[in-house]
Amino acid sequence: MGSEEVLHPFQCAAVLPSREDAGLALLLASRDTVYKIDVEKFHITSHWRPGAESKQAAIVLLVTAEQNNLAAVATGEDKTVHILEADNGVSLIRSITLPKRPCALSFTSDSGTLLCGDKFGDVYAIPSREGNIPEPMRKRLRVGKREAPGATNLTVHTKGNLYALEQQRKLASKAASKQTPSDESLKDDDFPYEPVVGHVSMLTDIVAARGRGSDIAQATNDSSGRNDFIITADRDEHIRISRGLPQSHVIHRFCLGHQNFVSKLCLLKCGLLLSGGGDSYLCVWDWETGDLLTKLEIQDSFTPSMSSVTAPKVAVSGLWDCSNSNNSIDFVCACEGSPRLLHIQARGFSSQNSTAPFRKSRLELDGNPLDVAFLPAAKEGTARLIVCLDSIHLPGSINTARDTERFGKRLQVFESKDDRGSMTFTQVSTQLAAELEACCDPPMILDNAQILTGQLAGLLYGTENLRKREVEGTARE
């Protein structure tokens, strides 16, 4: 592969929403480092990486919050979640190690809680900042506290019972003298959090959502008419809608329509839910009612030159909302190992008008997409699509490394154009992507052994592994 240095791909990307005093910012993760990039001036403003105790564990998840400039990353090898504040720079707020490896992250709408799901189906609610322990956890901390006996000298008369009563009083007084565990004294290493949602199957994705208002408003005393929900997906084709904290144990409803695993969820700006996985189609849901509005076939778009018999099965690895308004559907979809994105849009589509036509177009890429960040258009500007590419493996393959000494590009940038009411993406000059890559300093160098042993492929890919093996004679009809 040559002796020249090989740069690690950008495996994760996310956008920090704009504020009054600052515009949009782009976060890119390369191996174990997070870069914050000013997208207007194209220079790095800050970078962050875990301490030496993390043993350079690679970042597998990166999400941002709608408020407060918060971000969260998860490292797979050490099962640790790091909550970051990306205000002026990028600084660590807190780190917490989960019992099992995290596989999905999502901030609640107020950014005060990070929902973290693991592969064993449990979802934990972790406060964004230390010292903000939710009430359910406080109750657990005080389970062992002894209460004062209800009996008194007036109700107990025998000598033996009076002696027992005195001993109970002493124990209760001794327990009360001990300091009650405080928010500050709580150690993350103890991991005292209880699961707030549980699946019996492997959890694959999680989304925190807010409802439009329904019969749940009266039950939760929500005067605003809006309600928090937790949407989770698993390997067993289920999409579960649970109530938000602290009633997450209550299942609101299920969205059932997939025949294979569900790997990705995407809450669109219009309020509808998009889901995809191991099926040849995507589902569009009115998740509050559980209604399946339509199915969008994607098999032909990712395997255009193959027949339906010989074409490999698709595995959706990413769904990203690109909408600029609340009355339209606009998103891109990626399938694992396919060097293209599928851009799908519909104008006027809603739960009341589910017959609006969809328009599909393909974006051909120079490598397999790993993650996508959508930068909305500013005033009198154009929207941009930042695509992180696998620069190591051949396009269309997740195992075979490029056999040339010159590896592929790590980023590809597209800009949107208004085409008679529809948005189309066109690739901009490679100079813009090169400038974006060059501002990520110091660069993350990749060890050739990671490529030869397949270690890198294990980090970048894994969606297809969710597919259950069909035993001969038991294949699904």
In the sheet that holds 411-419, the strands lie side by side as: 369-375, 384-389, 411-419, 422-427
* Residues 398, 374 contacting (CB under 8 angstroms): no
Q: What is the pTM (predicted TM-score) of this model?
A: 0.83
Q: What pLDDT does 65 receive?
A: 92
Q: How far apart are CA 199 and CA 207, in angstroms?
A: 15
Cα angle 297, 299, 304; round to 5 = 120
CB atoms within 10 A of CB 222: 16
Q: How far apart are CA 261 and CA 279, in angstroms?
A: 8
Provide the sign of the torsion angle of the four alpha carbons 458, 464, 468, 471, taken in this order. Answer: negative
State yes or no: pLDDT of 444 exceeds 90. no
* Owner of token pair 């959502």: 209
- Per-residue pLDDT tens digits for 105-120: 999 988 889 999 998 8
* Owner of token pair 């109970």: 168
Read off the tokens for 79: 């099962």
What is the identity of the amino acid at 348?
G
Nearest to 385 by CA among 113, 3, 13, 8: 13
Nearest to 253 by CA among 234, 238, 274: 238
* Owner of token pair 């064993």: 120
* Owner of token pair 């025998």: 158
DSSP label at 388? E
Q: What pLDDT does 226 receive?
A: 55
For the chain, give the mean pLDDT.
Answer: 81
State yes or no: pLDDT of 468 exceeds 80. yes
Residue 291 vs residue 45, higher pLDDT: 291
DSSP label at 350? -
Q: How far apart are CA 159 and CA 156, in angstroms?
A: 9
Query: Quick one: residue 55, left, alpha or beta (phi over 0 = left, psi -120 to 50 = alpha)?
Result: left
Residue ranges with strand state E in 18-58? 25-30, 33-38, 43-48
Q: How far apart are CA 315 and CA 166, in angstroms?
A: 67
Using alpha carbons, list the distances in angstroms from residue 367 to 26, 252, 287, 382, 432.
21, 41, 34, 24, 17
- Per-residue pLDDT tens digits for 404-437: 656 788 999 999 877 666 778 888 877 777 777 7
Using alpha carbons, list the distances in angstroms from residue 290 to 201, 238, 239, 284, 462.
20, 12, 10, 10, 29
Of 127-131, 141-145, 178-182, the least confident: 141-145
Q: How far apart are CA 148 and CA 165, in angstroms?
A: 10
DSSP label at 140? H
* Residues 262, 239 contacting (CB under 8 angstroms): yes
Give the residue-averaged pLDDT of 457-461: 89
What is the identity of the amino acid at 77?
E
Which residues, including other chains, have CB under 8 Å from residue 109's CB and lie 6 or more apart? 66, 208, 210, 228
Q: What pLDDT does 471 receive?
A: 54
In the sheet that holds 359-364, the strands lie side by side as: 316-321, 328-335, 340-347, 359-364
Residue 315 vs residue 89, higher pLDDT: 315
